[in-house]
């Protein structure tokens, strides 16, 4: 069964071979989808026939968003903590333990329903690929359970046993690192693609983070790092040194950190939802882009620091507050996320790619930043199947 999507006023392909600029923008375009894959991209006037036809009515189409950083396996919320922050308190990693207690107390079915709810919420807003971390279990059984549940919803699963030191190990952080790099890793590695660590004061220092990431890498998990979120620190340099797929947050960067990212394949993943919800200063995307680093945008969806599944919201904030142009932000939220997940089949509209498409209720992708807070999702296809 083939599908022709035609009358696309403005198509973002992220493949310069198809159109102008890094977004590979094509106007009056069409796309043919076959067996869940993009089969043809070009001017609507030259489109081949297909079994079915959908008219985009002159509106914009872009690749589905790729959210490469989210924490979706949890129970409860942290409304009180958010309220306190908006009354002047500052964010600390300590709040993570509140969610750990609620998550441990939840049943498998409750956690699964929560992940399904957030993945569905994201999909309805155009997110067709989402990464999902563990990190609110912090026991062998609870971390393995989180990853098993996440893996039922996405192949992009990340072992984050090193989110904070488990409460039981408060007096023995070295013992907890031994657990994370030993028995817990053994139980989690079969369900995970990536290994992550929160490298931060109050969480794990550079040596501990290195131990976690290298142990994970030995088990075939590729590193990614929560780096330089709340303060300057060794996270970014460690990510680059270990060839991590991404360094995430990147809010407090020295010139050396920026240069290291720019000279590497490690993607700088910026998470403006976190600064928004913690009332903190935003990362400087302009500085990273001007240095030549690859930048991705993601939600960081979690109940503590960024309780949003909206890539469009993050994109709009990145344009308004972080020095990105709308084109750069759209690229970062699609192709950038794909780079951060080392995926070539998503984040782009080109023959051979998975047919993940977002049609906006707007004539241009720029409206994602120009019309903040407005639900612009008109249609979504995931692997060629219309889901919205
Ligand atoms: O990415 N920084 C560490 N982890 C999350 C926050 C988790 C939480 O507060 O529950 C983040 O912001
Ligand atoms: Fe995070």
| Residue 244 CA, distance from chain mean position | 15
Q: Which helix (H) or strand (E) holds 62?
A: strand 60-63
Q: Which residue has the tokens 């270990």?
A: 242
**How far away, in angstroms, is 113 Cα from ligand 2 center?**
21
Total Cβ atoms within 10 A of residue 90: 10
Atom 12, ligand 1: which residue's CA is nearest? 305
Report whether residue 339 contacts ligand 1, using a CB cutoff of 6 Å. no
Model pTM? 0.99
Environment class of residue 327 by beta-carbon count within 10 Å: exposed (0-12), middle (13-18) or buried (19+)? Answer: middle
Pocket test for ligand 1, best of 305, 308, 314 (most atoms within 8 A of CB): 305
H helices of the chain, in order, are 79-85, 96-105, 108-123, 140-151, 173-181, 183-188, 206-218, 235-241, 255-262, 272-278, 285-291, 311-321, 326-331, 337-340, 367-370
SS3 294: coil
**How far away, in angstroms, is 146 Cα from ligand 2 center?**
15
Residue 179 tokens, joined: 């657990």
CA of 303, closest atom in ligand 1: 10
Q: What is the pLDDT along the chain (388 residues), one digit of tens a residue?
A: 999 999 999 999 999 999 999 999 999 999 999 999 999 999 999 999 999 999 999 999 999 999 999 999 999 999 999 999 999 999 998 899 999 999 999 999 999 999 999 999 999 999 999 999 999 999 999 999 999 999 999 999 999 999 999 999 999 999 999 999 999 999 999 999 999 999 999 999 999 999 999 999 999 999 999 999 999 999 999 999 999 999 999 999 999 999 999 999 999 999 999 999 999 999 999 999 999 999 999 999 999 999 999 999 999 999 999 999 999 999 999 999 999 999 999 999 999 999 999 999 999 999 999 999 999 999 999 999 999 9
ipTM: 0.96
Name the DSSP class of 154.
Answer: -
Report whether residue 99 contacts ligand 1, using a CB cutoff of 6 Å. yes
């Amino acid at each position: 069964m083939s599908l022709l999507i035609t009358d696309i006023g403005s198509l973002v392909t992220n493949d310069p071979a198809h159109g102008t600029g890094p977004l590979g923008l094509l106007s009056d375009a069409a796309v043919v989808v076959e067996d869940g894959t993009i089969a043809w991209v070009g001017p609507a006037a030259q489109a081949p026939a297909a079994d079915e036809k959908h008219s985009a009515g002159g509106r914009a189409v872009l690749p589905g968003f790729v959210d490469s950083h989210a924490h979706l396996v949890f129970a409860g919320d942290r409304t009180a903590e958010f309220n306190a922050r908006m009354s002047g308190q500052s964010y600390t990693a300590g709040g993570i333990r509140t969610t750990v207690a609620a998550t441990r107390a939840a049943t498998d079915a409750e956690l699964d329903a929560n992940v399904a709810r957030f993945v569905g919420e994201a999909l309805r807003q155009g997110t067709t690929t989402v990464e999902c971390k563990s990190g609110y279990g912090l026991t062998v059984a609870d971390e393995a359970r989180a990853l098993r549940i996440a893996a039922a919803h996405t192949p992009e699963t990340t072992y984050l046993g090193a989110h904070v030191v488990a409460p039981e190990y408060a007096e023995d952080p070295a013992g907890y690192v031994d657990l994370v790099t030993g028995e817990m890793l053994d139980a989690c590695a079969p369900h995970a693609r990536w290994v992550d660590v929160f490298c931060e004061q109050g969480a794990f220092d550079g040596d501990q983070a290195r131990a976690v990431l290298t142990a994970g890498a030995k088990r075939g998990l590729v590193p990614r790092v929560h780096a330089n979120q709340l303060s300057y620190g060794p996270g970014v340099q460690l990510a680059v040194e270990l060839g991590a797929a991404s360094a995430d947050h990147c809010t407090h960067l020295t010139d050396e950190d920026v240069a290291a990212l720019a000279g590497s394949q490690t993607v700088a993943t910026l998470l403006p939802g976190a600064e928004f919800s913690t009332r903190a200063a935003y990362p400087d995307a302009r500085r990273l882009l001007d240095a030549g680093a690859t930048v991705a945008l993601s939600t960081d969806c979690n109940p503590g620091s960024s309780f949003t599944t909206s890539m469009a919201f993050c994109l709009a904030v990145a344009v308004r507050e972080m020095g990105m142009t709308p084109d750069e932000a759209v690229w970062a939220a699609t192709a950038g996320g794909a780079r951060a997940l080392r995926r070539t089949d998503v984040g782009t509209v080109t023959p051979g790619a998975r047919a993940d498409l977002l049609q906006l209720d707007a004539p241009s992708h720029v409206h994602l930043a120009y019309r903040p807070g407005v639900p612009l999702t008109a249609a979504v296809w995931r692997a060629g199947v219309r889901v919205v």
